[in-house]
Chain A
């Protein structure tokens, strides 16, 4: 293994281990060693994130490890991404999309939402997690403020699901619908229900949510 590969492996491992301090240190060391930031992003950070996502899906790791990896990734991304910003290179696997995520108003269930937020963070998205029982206007206001690409919202309760339909309705009524992609989720949400709500999609699980977010981001950015 040459020096570059070893540095990338160490960065990947720091993300997988969920060590914020090490991921920052390894990212700096790799930059100082002259490794292309794009390579760092793709083969260090994103590969690490993909590995941690797969391990979670296979039941090999659990939510705390996923959250810590997300934090470690975010810290390293803060160092690496400014160096490649605006390069818009064709080989860029990582996404730098922004997601505003929340459990919709009146619902306080957040396991699924937290999982999706962690996976999106671990996949390189900038995630603004507004928490639970979040009013529609707060979600839309935050999405406008941070110029989000995607609004992601969830409801476990069947009787809270109508508020997600309302969210799309308010976006339409205020002329903001084209500005954001909308993902909806929750135990009872089916693709048919998502379509009925005029959302842009739903996913079966957190891994699927990341894939959907990447797809929507590509659509949005053409």
Chain B
């Protein structure tokens, strides 16, 4: 504990910089230099590269970035610096297994490898998306009832008893507690009371996170987010989340949402920033595991070529150089009741499964609307399991992903996106079953995927 306090102290005493200096002079310029130094490049037709030297170079460049920069504290405008030995020690302390949840519903995360034959764990929900209070419980149950789903991810409540919730306001406490009540009740109602939960999505400030640190809400056997800000930044609120977890014991998930096309530049530089973020988050977020969630600067979605390449190369870089538990996010552009949502989910699940990660999502419609359902979560899990069990190779996976991109990439040119329909229009919320049209669309896409080479997929 004292060790972490000492790191917090550096946020008050480190070198002073303006945020503009940090962004441009430090992050952007250093990353640009490292991309040139390590001769990093990518091919948009090769989303799943088999190139150990490239993965190693991305890792080495990320380590160098972490060493030369450290982490910027936005509140104090000071840099939390680390020496190489500290960064190495941080990598060594990363758990290799991690148990979450309770009783028969308990799951144990493990470190996956590249082309690993062991199926990934499936962590599902429309992460953080605003979910109407009137069907929040049903929202939980449509995911929890899917046998292939191992862990749950909540959406956000924007009202409680009809009253507006505001970030950092007193109602955030009520929202987070209500959200966790729904999560626990929903899991119990489908006979899986011990399911692990990534709590709490309504905790957009540290206030909500602290408010649920009680066994009735977020249990010590659950996980919570300790986000890093773009890029390589923390603030007091997020540092407080880590402090709160020290004694309480909940698992810390680092979440740096590196912007692909942002300060790191194109995909290779963004991958370097992502590696550095994970390396530093071991120390500033006290990470037990990492959530890999690069976002596209213009399209947001993780199913773009550049973002999937980053997810793959970062996963491979860590698998080869510093094995740790990695959970890679799937945030498709499209929403429920669209074929593209299923194609995006499948492509992203193939990439992440082959690249040493467990799967989290799909947060449909960019996670910005309740346009989601349990069906795409089922598909994500089925694809992940099929890829592992049929021992798909990177090359085979790449061929299918390129074919899937042909089927959905057009949506990124649409100004209006491809939002689909909300949960209450694609599921019967009394029976908790998809409407026939959505079920039929899912079955059609599963058939297509089987023909494309995912023969391990179950016949619907």
Binding site for B on A (CB under 8 A): 57, 59, 62-65, 67-68, 106-108, 110-111, 114-115, 131-132, 157-160, 162-163, 187-188, 204-205
Task: Please determine whether B130 and A158 come into contact, CB atoms closer than 8 angstroms.
Answer: yes
- Which one of B5-13, B163-171, B182-190, B394-402 contacts A? B163-171
The 0/1 profile, CB within 8 Å of A marked 1, for residues 412-430 of chain B is 0001100000000000000
CA distance A52 to B167 in the complex (A): 36
CA distance A111 to B262 in the complex (A): 8
Q: State the Cβ distance, A162 to closest chain B Cβ, in Å.
A: 5
Q: State the Cβ distance, B315 to closest chain A Cβ, in Å.
A: 22
Kindly report which residue of chain B lies nearest to residue A207, judged by CB atoms.
Answer: B298
Residues from chain B with Cβ under 8 Å of A160 in the complex: 166-167, 204
Residues from chain A with Cβ under 8 Å of B204 in the complex: 106-107, 157, 159-160
Q: State the Cβ distance, A106 to closest chain B Cβ, in Å.
A: 4
CA distance A8 to B415 in the complex (A): 34
Residues from chain A with Cβ under 8 Å of B32 in the complex: 64
Residues from chain B with Cβ under 8 Å of A106 in the complex: 166-169, 204-205
Task: Please determine whether B298 and A159 come into contact, CB atoms closer than 8 angstroms.
Answer: no
Q: State the Cβ distance, A183 to closest chain B Cβ, in Å.
A: 17
Residues from chain B with Cβ under 8 Å of A110 in the complex: 229-230
Task: Please determine whether A159 and B259 come into contact, CB atoms closer than 8 angstroms.
Answer: no
Q: Name, among A157, A163, A188, the residue most crowded by chain B CB atoms within 10 Å (CB to CB).
A: A157
Q: Name, among B166, B172, B415, the residue most crowded by chain A CB atoms within 10 Å (CB to CB).
A: B166
Task: Please determine whether A67 and B28 come into contact, CB atoms closer than 8 angstroms.
Answer: yes
CA distance A106 to B207 in the complex (A): 11
Interface membership of B345, Cβ < 8 A: no
Binding site for A on B (CB under 8 A): 19, 23-24, 28-29, 32, 74, 130, 156, 158, 164-169, 172, 175, 202, 204-205, 229-230, 235, 237, 259, 261-266, 269, 295, 297-298, 300, 366, 368-369, 415-416
Interface of B is mostly: loop
Kindly report which residue of chain B lies nearest to residue A205, judged by CB atoms.
Answer: B298
Task: Please determine whether A108 and B298 come into contact, CB atoms closer than 8 angstroms.
Answer: no
CA distance A114 to B297 in the complex (A): 11
Task: Please determine whether B165 and A159 come into contact, CB atoms closer than 8 angstroms.
Answer: yes
- Residue in contact with B202 in the complex, picked from A115, A159, A187, A205, CB distance below 8 Å: A159
Task: Please determine whether A64 and B130 come into contact, CB atoms closer than 8 angstroms.
Answer: no
Kindly report which residue of chain A lies nearest to residue B269, judged by CB atoms.
Answer: A62
Residues from chain A with Cβ under 8 Å of B29 in the complex: 64
Kindly report which residue of chain A lies nearest to residue B415, judged by CB atoms.
Answer: A204
Contact status of A188 and B298, CB under 8 A, knowing A111-B230, A204-B415: no
5 closest Cβ contacts across the A-B interface?
A: A106-B167, A64-B28, A106-B168, A160-B167, A159-B167
- Residue in contact with B166 in the complex, picked from A57, A64, A65, A159, CB distance below 8 Å: A159
Task: Please determine whether B259 and A63 come into contact, CB atoms closer than 8 angstroms.
Answer: yes
Task: Please determine whether A64 and B156 come into contact, CB atoms closer than 8 angstroms.
Answer: no
CA distance A114 to B19 in the complex (A): 12
CA distance A134 to B206 in the complex (A): 17
Task: Please determine whether A188 and B28 come into contact, CB atoms closer than 8 angstroms.
Answer: no
Residues from chain A with Cβ under 8 Å of B130 in the complex: 158, 188
Task: Please determine whether B205 and A64 come into contact, CB atoms closer than 8 angstroms.
Answer: no
Q: State the Cβ distance, B21 to closest chain A Cβ, in Å.
A: 12
CA distance A105 to B69 in the complex (A): 28
Given contacts A62-B262, A106-B166, 4 further A-B contacts (CB under 8 A): A107-B167, A108-B237, A159-B167, A160-B167
Q: State the Cβ distance, B391 to closest chain A Cβ, in Å.
A: 35
Residues from chain A with Cβ under 8 Å of B168 in the complex: 106
CA distance A158 to B169 in the complex (A): 13
Residues from chain B with Cβ under 8 Å of A131 in the complex: 19
Q: State the Cβ distance, B175 to closest chain A Cβ, in Å.
A: 8
- Residue in contact with B259 in the complex, picked from A111, A163, A204, CB distance below 8 Å: A111
Q: State the Cβ distance, B238 to closest chain A Cβ, in Å.
A: 9
Task: Please determine whether A62 and B74 come into contact, CB atoms closer than 8 angstroms.
Answer: no
Contact status of A63 and B74, CB under 8 A, knowing A111-B297, A187-B300: no
CA distance A187 to B168 in the complex (A): 19
Task: Please determine whether A188 and B368 come into contact, CB atoms closer than 8 angstroms.
Answer: yes
What are 7 residue pairs bridging A and B, where the CB atoms are less than 8 Å apart in the complex? A62-B261, A63-B265, A107-B204, A157-B167, A158-B130, A162-B164, A162-B166
CA distance A132 to B74 in the complex (A): 10
CA distance A57 to B412 in the complex (A): 12
Task: Please determine whether A63 and B262 come into contact, CB atoms closer than 8 angstroms.
Answer: yes
CA distance A188 to B370 in the complex (A): 11
Contact status of A159 and B156, CB under 8 A, knowing A62-B262, A187-B300: yes
Residues from chain A with Cβ under 8 Å of B175 in the complex: 159
Task: Please determine whether A63 and B28 come into contact, CB atoms closer than 8 angstroms.
Answer: yes
Contact status of A188 and B369, CB under 8 A, knowing A63-B259, A67-B24, A108-B235: yes
Kindly report which residue of chain B lies nearest to residue A60, judged by CB atoms.
Answer: B266
Residues from chain B with Cβ under 8 Å of A159 in the complex: 156, 158, 165-167, 172, 175, 202, 204
Kindly report which residue of chain A lies nearest to residue B295, judged by CB atoms.
Answer: A111
Kindly report which residue of chain A lies nearest to residue B204, judged by CB atoms.
Answer: A157
Residues from chain A with Cβ under 8 Å of B202 in the complex: 159
Q: State the Cβ distance, B134 to closest chain A Cβ, in Å.
A: 16
CA distance A162 to B369 in the complex (A): 17
Contact status of A187 and B368, CB under 8 A, knowing A64-B32, A106-B167: yes
CA distance A162 to B166 in the complex (A): 7
CA distance A114 to B261 in the complex (A): 13
CA distance A67 to B263 in the complex (A): 9
Task: Please determine whether B24 and A59 come into contact, CB atoms closer than 8 angstroms.
Answer: no
Q: State the Cβ distance, A191 to closest chain B Cβ, in Å.
A: 11
CA distance A62 to B263 in the complex (A): 8
Q: State the Cβ distance, B169 to closest chain A Cβ, in Å.
A: 8
Task: Please determine whether B19 and A62 come into contact, CB atoms closer than 8 angstroms.
Answer: no
- Residue in contact with B298 in the complex, picked from A59, A65, A67, A163, CB distance below 8 Å: A59
Contact status of A63 and B297, CB under 8 A, knowing A160-B166, A160-B204, A204-B415: yes
Residues from chain B with Cβ under 8 Å of A111 in the complex: 230, 259, 262, 295, 297
Residues from chain B with Cβ under 8 Å of A162 in the complex: 164, 166
